[in-house]
Structures are given as structure tokens and as C-alpha cells.
Structure 1
Amino acid sequence: MDLHFSEYDTRLAGYAVIVNDSNEILLSWFNGGGEPSRALWTLPGGGIDYDESIEDGTVREIREETGFDAELLRPLTTHSFTEKRRGGRPFKGVQVVYLAEIVGGTLGTLEVDGTTDRAEWISVAALSRIRHARIIDVGLDAWRAERAQQR
């Protein structure tokens, strides 16, 4: 399907890969947004508001979802996908994934009546055993590739 940009809806989102010294990744629990069957673990982050930069929006989302203040170190990768939504216009999601580190705050979701119920540090090795969003795999693949290049 070859569509002009004006013929589909786009959502820009920013996410962060934050891995601690114990090889645990910071994740947030997406509650499914009213559809419990869609609930899963995801990277902290989300939609960027119209009037904010992708960097500012990503830092805001990390704080809302995890309680932590974060510093974005650098972009790791981008990911995009398309889907046809029921009864709606075609949709394209564009996701920018950053490498980030915690610089303050306390673990605890600050979002009220939102789609994030909690945040946790989860072992990277345990990811294969839990329900999680593809963006985690995308971000970790980029993180691992960067670490391999540094060796």
C-alpha cells in the first residue's frame, strides 16, 4: 500500500533502555489500556506530545512511568511499523529508542489513571519467560550490538 503521509495517522514515541550493573532492565507494565488481554511489559516511554521535543517527551515519560529522573545518553535505534486499524485510517508508529541512565528519583509509577500500573527492574535473562512488547527486543538488540562493538 503506497500512501502519501497525509493519508495515514502517525504516532511518534520515545523509549529508553536502562540496564543496571546487575544486568536488570527497567520496564513498565502496560495495563492494556482497558483491554486486559493486551497487557504486557514494555520499555519506559511513550507518545511524544505535539509541543515537546522527542528528548523532553521521552524523559517525561520515563519519570511518569517509573518515578525515576533519567538522562538520555544517545539514540540506540529507531523502529517503525504499520497497521490497519479497525474502521480507521491506516496507522504508522515511529519509535526512537535511547540508551539512558538514572540520575535521580525513586522507583514508583507517577501516572494517575494512565496505562502504566507499575515499573520494575527485571533480569534481562528472564525476558524470554515473560509477556513483553517487541520494542524491548528491538532496544536490547541495539544495546547488545553497541556493547559488542565496544569490546
Structure 2
Amino acid sequence: MAKLNPDAAAYADRLRVRACGICIQNEKLLLVRHGSTVDNSAFWAPPGGGVDYGETLHSCLKRELVEETGLKVEIGKFLFTNEFLRPPLHALELFFEVHVTGGSLFTGADPEMGTGKQLLEEVAWLALPEIQAIPQQDKHRALHYLLSLDDLLGLDHYFVG
């Protein structure tokens, strides 16, 4: 079993459904860097988070983008699904295209995590070469083999492999 950061324990041993956003602007992708979760020092991923009971995917994604990045967004088309399974973490992630409509970029916080236990470390717009330079184990697997940022908008398969 993987080594889990104790601050990530709130997400362990249960299936989480997550809504995630792919936001590309000026040939850069909006990404969030989380602190150590499972066997890694940092983890870059598109913003998003867990769907609350009774919450729609779109409402969740809008809420998560504001919480994590300070940006208000409009939700576009559904793009792809990813299953993350590295016990004790298990998540089904639904990715949507998003477009910024307002707000100001800043590194936000997870309301369910206490002060001093935040996993969010940085929010940034990264160009393709910057994403490619991040070690594989430190980025979401949807980012592993990008040849273009447009690859994220036109994946022709359902599950990221």
C-alpha cells in the first residue's frame, strides 16, 4: 500500500466522485499543486474536487474553482473520465472544459481541511514545456503524454490510460 500523508486521510478508504476543470488560456493550462498526498513530494493537477451529496457536477466544479483558484467559470463540454486508484485513495474524476468569466487568481484553500493542514500549495498557468518538465509521478496522469494542450480538449477515449 502507498504511503499516505496524514493530512490527506480525510479522502482515504472511500470512493470519491470529483468534478475537474480543464481551463486553457493564452496557450497555458490552469493547474493546482497539492502538497504530498501519496508517495510524492507535490502533485500538479487541474483544479476540481469532491461532489457533495445533492450537488450537481456543474455546481461542484464552479464552487471548487472559486475555492481553489479564486476564478469564476462557465462550464463547457464534458471531456473525459479518469479513475484514480492508489489505495487508500480512490476517485472517479469527471473532466469538463471551463472558461474564466471573472474573479482574481490566487491560491485558495480546501474548507474541509484545517489551518496548517492545507494540501493546496500553488495555483499557476503553465505552458506545455513547463508541464512536460514536471516529473511523471508529480503530475496527474492526464498530463503525462501531452503533445499539445489541445489534446485535453479532444481525447477520443473515455478512460485515460
Shared fold, TM over 0.5: yes
Q: Does 1:32 align with 2:36?
A: yes
Q: Normalized against structure 1, the TM-score is what?
A: 0.74
Decide which of 132, 139, 143 is 1:132's aligned counterpart: 139
Contact 1:77 1:96 (8 Å CA) reproduced: yes
Matches of residues 49-128 of structure 1 in structure 2 within 5 Å?
49-85=52-88, 92-111=90-109, 113=115, 114-128=118-132
SS of residue paired to 2:24: coil
Q: Give 1:145 shift.
A: 4.2
Runs of 5+ consecutive residues of structure 2 not aligned to the other structure: 1-12, 157-161
Higher helix proportion: 1
Once the two structures are superposed, residues 65-120 of structure 1 have per-residue CA deviations (whole angstroms, 9 ceiling, x without a partner) of 111001111111112243443xxxxx642110000100000010231643212211
Q: Normalized against structure 2, the TM-score is what?
A: 0.70
Measured on the aligned residues, the alpha-carbon RMSD in Å equals: 2.6
More deviation in 100-109 or 39-48?
Answer: 39-48
Amino acid paired to 1:15: C
More deviation in 124-133 or 134-143?
Answer: 134-143
- Say how many residue pairs are matched: 132
**2:27: which partner in 1?**
23
Contact 1:66 1:118 (8 Å CA) reproduced: no
Once the two structures are superposed, residues 16-72 of structure 1 have per-residue CA deviations (whole angstroms, 9 ceiling, x without a partner) of 11001x210011111125x78341211011111123111111111111111100111
Share of identical aligned residues, percent? Answer: 23
SS of residue paired to 1:37: coil
SS of residue paired to 1:77: strand
CA, structure 1 residues 136+15, in 2 after alignment: closer, same or farther (shift >3 Å)? farther
Runs of 5+ consecutive residues of structure 1 not aligned to the other structure: 1-7, 86-90, 147-151
Larger Rg: 1
Q: Give 1:125 shift.
A: 2.8
SS of residue paired to 2:108: coil
Task: State the alpha-carbon separation in 1 of the partners of residues 141 and 16 from structure 2.
Answer: 16
More deviation in 47-56 or 35-44?
Answer: 35-44
Decide which of 8, 11, 15 is 1:10's aligned counterpart: 15
Amino acid paired to 1:42: A
Task: State the alpha-carbon separation in 2 of the partners of residues 115 and 99 from structure 1.
Answer: 24
Q: After TM superposition, which residue ranges in structure 1, 4 or more long, deviate above 3 angstroms?
A: 35-38, 81-84, 135-142
